[in-house]
């Protein structure tokens, strides 16, 4: 039975899709290995932090322990605190405009905001995944195509096996939540 959901794919791989703050920053030719390495370290920390934040809703079956209600209340309070810190962070450090983006370890496609990069331009795509995570995901690559409508497609240099694996897991978790949400009965 068709659920009305399509798998999000880019470069024939599962991809993450969202509407988040995104910016393209040009980098000088050739890529500076030290800069790319520092991005990899920061990306690893950001993706690990995001995975830890997303764990809170992953309980498969209800917990019947005597402290389950207390833990659930603490979890809610910590999440509210993280949301407030995120709002303060965004207010003190403005983010780029939000746009629709689809990405994985191989590349990205997004709705371009002016200034539109030049075809073949090398740079770094900054993707702010959550307000409470200060560092954006920084993926280094080159502009592969620009459509007349302003959709930009980039191809990334390989981010490393561990980061690629975390990006794949990020896309899979999002896809799994979408499928689970579609299976929930609609309330009137």
The string of pLDDT tens digits covering residues 96-152 is 999 999 999 999 999 998 889 999 999 999 999 988 888 899 999 999 999 999 999
Q: Is 61 a domain residue? A: no
**What average pLDDT does the structure give for the chain?**
84
Q: Is 50 a domain residue? A: yes
Q: What is the CATH number of the domain that holds 163?
A: 2.40.10.220
pLDDT band per the 50, 70, 90 thresholds, residue 5 = low
Q: Is 62 a domain residue? A: no
Give residue 53's pLDDT.
81
Give residue 183's pLDDT.
67
The string of pLDDT tens digits covering residues 117-133 is 999 999 999 999 988 88
User: What domain range is 162 assigned to?
Assistant: 9-55+96-183
pLDDT band per the 50, 70, 90 thresholds, residue 79 = low
Structural domains counted in the chain: 1
Say if residues 109 and 11 touch (Cβ distance below 8 Å): no
Q: Is 60 a domain residue? A: no
Q: Is 66 a domain residue? A: no
Give residue 137's pLDDT.
96
């Amino acid at each position: 039975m068709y659920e009305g959901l399509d798998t999000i794919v880019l470069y024939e791989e599962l991809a993450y899709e969202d509407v988040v703050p995104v910016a393209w920053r040009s980098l000088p030719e050739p890529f500076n290995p030290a800069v790319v390495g520092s991005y990899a370290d920061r990306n690893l920390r950001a993706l690990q932090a995001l995975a830890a934040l997303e764990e809170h809703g992953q309980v498969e079956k209800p917990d019947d322990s005597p402290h389950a209600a207390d833990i659930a209340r603490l979890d809610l309070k910590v999440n509210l605190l993280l949301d407030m810190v995120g709002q303060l962070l965004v207010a003190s450090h403005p983010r780029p405009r939000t746009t629709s983006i689809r990405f994985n370890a191989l590349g990205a496609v997004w709705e371009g905001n002016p200034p539109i990069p030049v075809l073949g331009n090398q740079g770094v795509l900054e993707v702010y995944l959550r307000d409470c995570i200060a560092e954006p995901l920084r993926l280094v690559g080159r502009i592969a195509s620009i459509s007349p409508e302003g959709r930009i497609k980039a191809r990334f240099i390989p981010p490393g096996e561990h980061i690629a694996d975390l990006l794949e897991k990020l896309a899979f978790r999002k896809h799994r939540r979408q499928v689970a949400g579609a299976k929930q009965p609609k309330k009137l």
